[in-house]
């Protein structure tokens, strides 16, 4: 039986007993605080855990004044959690013994399971079966446990410093890697961010990241859920949780390795996860409001901003500095990372102009120059004025620190503005590791203002926040309804049937018709007039051109009849066993910019839409964009603008601008189709030829579930 023997909602509902226990058994307890068994006990004592602690040790009668029993069978029945610190070889029998004593949950730190070998995976699955059949929650194996700061329960062997969780808003940390969970905790605590829980799920034999995320979303004090995963076991449930988190205004910030082939391999060896399609995950997670970050630095920085400003609004960046060099560098870096700078509203420009001498040019970034020496209030005033601009979504104050008294004056000026701000206000004091005034740093930490020493890191985080704000705004726009279209058959549809589906979606295709004889082909060509193309049609003929099944520029009846014979002769030679359905006769299309637009249904994540340059270029240049099937026209246009080849869609080398709106309409239509027809597995329009006033699908492949 799989881990699904315990339904997801039951696992989540029981997590309070695992993460908030009142009785704990440490199986394999040891006296040395530096050992794993001793470390768990030392942490519990350091945090002043006031529940029951039971120790199991074959060699000790007591540890630090606490009595020990020899076996799990000697424990009281019905304890909340048993922590198993025993060799891998005896884990299974220890689990069975704990189940017999009716424990509520089991935590296994021991490694050597699915991350190590196929046999280890089999043993891990058996542990999950034992626990699930008994209704016992299992955290791990190969995990570092958790620390519940809100309740003061550190059930981990990692040395953890006792500290209160701190007032809301807080961040909850969920990670498959214990070391990464600790690193996120260190970084956020170093910035003064309050932490509620840190849960390391390890190999996730039963309890997975999705279960813990659901538990953390139930705590209204959690403003942000920071997630590190190497594989999501239940993608559909994760997307549901992301939707719930978004609707509650409590974002999930996720770091997920696997963008590279070697990264996917590392994830497999680390947790025994089976890597999925990383690009699909990113597209669909972001579409549900998940903040997907690419680095640990981004995780630290974005969480520090969102815990204070969890509902950012769309808008461009505003920057205030007292350094002309930072102003110039900001222009360059914002362009590099794609962070748009706001054009200041006229009244905002006028108000900022009043703050500085006449010789100071007012722009964004706004360089106050030396004004701060004579008027320190300008730091707060400039932030307040720029935040009032409707086109500004967030403001970065990036300054040289100055003397200790000047640092304090900067804080006294800016922090009141921060406390009243409803848009992200971020402070950066340049100088890397150079120490700052202690009074200033205490003011910054106590305030909770997002604080940086690198303006580049701050701007990179702002780009992530800006993208997240745009994604949230897109989710507020109404979605086009799914569009069901009748499918002629199951399996692979030949091109002419695929184009019938496209016509039903109002996707333009060349004028033409299907012929089953040379006479029909000649009649169709005569009706079309001008040059035509003949295309062999069969469900089993995937690459028509390679088999000589496409003939171009045929004009006149004789050429069409001759083409009919040549096409059949080509196929008889290239694929003698192939049975043709017939031949598609179409008017030759005008040349234009070729794109590929496609859709596919990921078995784990659901449908996605793809667009990129057509032909071989999409593979050669790796220039494509993935989108959710729910994307609207505005979102599709934005994605087209993010292609590296986007300049080709505009006026280029004497060519007119291409009709990107027509391409966006095709993207939206495919999304509507994929949402309406779960039996469609794949759609490939290659090429979609784009002109100045429209687009036309020259080829179409549709794959559906086999009948």
Mean pLDDT to the nearest integer, 184-189 = 96
Phi/psi of residue 228, each to 5°? -120, 120
Specify which residues 228 forms β-bridges with.
Answer: 175, 255
Cis status, amide bond into 687, omega within 30 of 0: yes
Q: Which residues, at least 6 apart from 534, have a Cβ–Cβ distance to it below 8 Å? A: 521, 550, 551, 554, 560, 563, 564, 567, 583, 584, 585
Angstrom distance (rounded) from CA 646 to CA 374: 48
Q: What CATH superfamily classification does 163-310 receive?
A: Succinyl-CoA synthetase domains (3.40.50.261)
Q: What CATH superfamily classification does 312-476 receive?
A: Succinyl-CoA synthetase domains (3.40.50.261)
- Given this model, what pLDDT does residue 263 score? 46
Angstrom distance (rounded) from CA 182 to CA 179: 5
Q: What is the pTM of this model?
A: 0.91
Q: Which residues, at least 6 apart from 260, have a Cβ–Cβ distance to it below 8 Å? A: none
Angstrom distance (rounded) from CA 443 to CA 436: 12
- pLDDT tier, 261 (very low <50, low <70, confident <90, very high otherwise): low
- pLDDT tier, 259 (very low <50, low <70, confident <90, very high otherwise): low
Angstrom distance (rounded) from CA 582 to CA 579: 9
List the beta strands (DSSP E) in 161-299.
Answer: 170-175, 195-200, 222-228, 252-255, 291-293
Other Cβ atoms closer than 10 A to 186: 11
At residue 23, does pLDDT exceed 50? yes
- pLDDT tier, 285 (very low <50, low <70, confident <90, very high otherwise): very high
Would you identify the CATH topology of the domain 1-159? Rossmann fold (3.40.50)
Would you identify the CATH topology of the domain 593-704? D-amino Acid Aminotransferase; Chain A, domain 1 (3.30.470)
- Given this model, what pLDDT does residue 172 score? 98
Angstrom distance (rounded) from CA 315 to CA 373: 31
Angstrom distance (rounded) from CA 398 to CA 401: 9
138 and 105 Cβ atoms separated by less than 8 Å:
yes
- Given this model, what pLDDT does residue 265 score? 47
Tens-digit pLDDT profile for residues 644-655: 889 999 988 888
- Given this model, what pLDDT does residue 258 score? 73
- Given this model, what pLDDT does residue 271 score? 33
- Given this model, what pLDDT does residue 408 score? 97
- Given this model, what pLDDT does residue 488 score? 86
Token pair 């280029």 is found at: 652
Q: Among 225-239, 281-295, 616-630, which stretch is predicted with the lowest mean pLDDT?
A: 616-630
How far apart are the two ends of the chain, measured CA to CA in Å? 30
Angstrom distance (rounded) from CA 28 to CA 70: 10
Q: Among 17-21, 358-362, 557-561, which stretch is predicted with the lowest mean pLDDT?
A: 358-362
Q: Which residues, at least 6 apart from 81, have a Cβ–Cβ distance to it below 8 Å? A: 17, 18, 21, 23, 24, 25, 103, 104, 105, 106, 107, 155
Q: Which residues, at least 6 apart from 74, have a Cβ–Cβ distance to it below 8 Å? A: 56
Domain ranges of the chain: 1-159, 163-310, 312-476, 511-587, 593-704
At residue 264, does pLDDT exceed 70? no
Mean pLDDT to the nearest integer, 426-435 = 95
Tens-digit pLDDT profile for residues 562-590: 999 999 999 999 999 898 999 999 999 99
Helix, strand, coil % in the chain, rounded to nearest 5: 40, 20, 40
At residue 144, does pLDDT exceed 70? yes
Mean pLDDT to the nearest integer, 28-48 = 96
Cis status, amide bond into 169, omega within 30 of 0: yes
- Given this model, what pLDDT does residue 268 score? 39
Mean pLDDT to the nearest integer, 19-30 = 97
CATH classification for the domain delimited by 511-587, as one of 3.40.50.1980, 3.40.50.150, 3.30.1490.20, 3.40.47.10: 3.30.1490.20
The answer to whether 163-310 and 312-476 have equal CATH topology is yes
At residue 136, does pLDDT exceed 60? yes
Tens-digit pLDDT profile for residues 301-322: 999 999 999 999 999 999 999 9
Q: Among 172-181, 235-244, 271-280, 545-554, which stretch is predicted with the lowest mean pLDDT?
A: 271-280
List, as one string, the DSSP characters of 624-693.
EEEEETT--HHHHHHHHHTSTTGGGGSSBTTBPPP-HHHHHHHHHHHHHHHHH-TTEEEEEEEEEEEETT
Angstrom distance (rounded) from CA 122 to CA 506: 51
DSSP-based three-state secondary structure for 41 = helix
Please give the share of the chain, as a percent, with pLDDT higher than 70: 95
677 and 484 Cβ atoms separated by less than 8 Å:
yes
At residue 596, does pLDDT exceed 80? yes
- Given this model, what pLDDT does residue 10 score? 52
- pLDDT tier, 274 (very low <50, low <70, confident <90, very high otherwise): very low
Other Cβ atoms closer than 10 A to 286: 21
Tens-digit pLDDT profile for residues 525-543: 999 998 999 999 998 887 7
Other Cβ atoms closer than 10 A to 505: 17
Tens-digit pLDDT profile for residues 445-473: 999 999 999 999 999 999 999 999 999 99
Mean pLDDT to the nearest integer, 61-76 = 97
**What are the strands of the beta sheet with 291-293, ordered from one edge?**
153-155, 145-148, 195-200, 170-175, 222-228, 252-255, 291-293
């Amino acid at each position: 039986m799989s881990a699904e023997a315990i339904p997801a909602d039951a696992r989540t509902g029981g997590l309070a007993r695992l993460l908030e226990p009142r009785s704990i058994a440490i199986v394999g307890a040891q006296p040395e605080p530096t050992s794993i068994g001793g470390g768990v006990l030392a942490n519990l004592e350091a945090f002043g855990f006031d529940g029951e602690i039971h120790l199991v040790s074959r060699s000790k009668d007591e540890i630090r004044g606490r009595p020990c029993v020899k076996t799990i069978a000697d424990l009281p029945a019905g304890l909340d959690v048993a922590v198993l610190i025993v060799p891998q070889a005896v884990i299974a029998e220890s689990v069975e013994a704990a189940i017999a004593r009716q424990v509520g949950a089991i935590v296994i730190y021991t490694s050597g399971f699915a991350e190590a070998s196929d046999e280890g995976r089999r043993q891990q699955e058996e542990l999950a079966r034992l626990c699930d059949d008994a209704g016992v929650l299992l955290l791990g194996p190969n995990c570092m446990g958790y620390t519940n700061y809100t309740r003061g329960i550190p059930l981990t062997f990692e040395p953890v410093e006792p500290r209160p969780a701190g007032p809301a808003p807080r961040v909850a940390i969920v990670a498959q890697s214990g070391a990464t969970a600790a690193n996120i905790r260190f970084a956020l605590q170093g910035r003064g961010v309050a932490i509620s829980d840190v849960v390391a799920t390890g190999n996730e034999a039963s309890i997975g990241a999705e279960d813990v995320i659901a538990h953390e979303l139930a705590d209204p004090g959690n403003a942000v859920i920071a997630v590190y995963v190497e594989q999501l076991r239940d993608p559909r449930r994760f997307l549901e949780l992301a939707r719930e988190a978004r609707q509650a205004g409590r974002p999930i910030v996720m770091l997920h390795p696997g963008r590279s082939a070697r990264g996917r391999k590392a994830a497999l060896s680390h947790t025994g996860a089976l890597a999925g399609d990383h690009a699909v995950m990113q597209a669909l997670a972001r579409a549900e409001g998940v903040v997907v970050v690419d680095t640990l630095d981004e995780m630290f920085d974005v969480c520090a901003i969102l815990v204070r400003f969890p509902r950012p609004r769309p808008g461009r960046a505003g920057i205030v500095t007292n350094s002309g060099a930072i102003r110039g560098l900001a222009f360059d870096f914002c362009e590099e990372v794609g962070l748009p700078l706001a054009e200041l509203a006229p009244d905002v420009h006028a108000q900022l102009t009043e703050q500085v001498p006449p010789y100071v040019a007012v722009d964004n970034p706004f360089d106050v120059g030396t004004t701060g020496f004579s008027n320190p209030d300008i730091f707060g005033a400039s932030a307040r004025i720029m935040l009032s601009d409707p086109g500004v979504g967030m403001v970065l104050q990036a300054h040289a620190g100055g003397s200790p008294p000047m640092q304090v004056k900067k804080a006294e000026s800016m922090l009141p503005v921060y406390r009243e701000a409803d848009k992200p206000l971020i402070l950066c004091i340049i100088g890397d590791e150079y120490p700052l005034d202690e009074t200033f740093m205490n003011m910054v930490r106590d305030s909770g203002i997002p604080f940086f020493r690198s303006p580049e890191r701050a701007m990179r985080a702002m780009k992530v926040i800006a993208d997240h704000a745009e994604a949230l705004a897109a989710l507020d726009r109404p979605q086009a309804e799914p569009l069901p279209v009748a499918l002629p058959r199951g399996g692979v549809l030949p091109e002419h049937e695929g184009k019938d589906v496209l016509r039903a979606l109002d996707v333009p295709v060349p004028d033409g018709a299907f012929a089953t004889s040379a006479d029909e082909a000649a009649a169709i060509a005569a009706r079309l007039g001008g040059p035509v193309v003949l295309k062999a049609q069969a469900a089993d003929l995937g690459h028509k051109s390679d088999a000589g099944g496409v003939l171009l520029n045929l004009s006149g009846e004789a050429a069409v009849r001759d083409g009919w014979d040549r096409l059949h002769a080509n196929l008889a030679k290239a694929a003698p066993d192939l049975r043709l359905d017939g031949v598609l006769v179409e008017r030759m299309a005008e040349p234009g910019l070729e794109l590929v637009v496609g859709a596919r249904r990921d078995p784990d994540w659901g449908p996605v839409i793809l667009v990129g340059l057509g032909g071989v270029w999409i593979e050669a240049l790796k220039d494509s964009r993935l989108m959710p099937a729910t994307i609207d026209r505005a979102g599709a246009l934005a994605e087209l603008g993010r292609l590296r080849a986007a300049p080709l869609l505009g006026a280029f080398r004497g060519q007119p601008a291409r009709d990107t709106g027509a391409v966006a309409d095709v993207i939206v239509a495919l999304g509507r189709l994929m949402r309406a027809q779960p039996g469609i597995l794949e759609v490939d329009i290659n090429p979609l030829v784009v002109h100045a006033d429209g687009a036309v699908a020259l080829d179409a492949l549709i794959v559906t579930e086999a009948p």
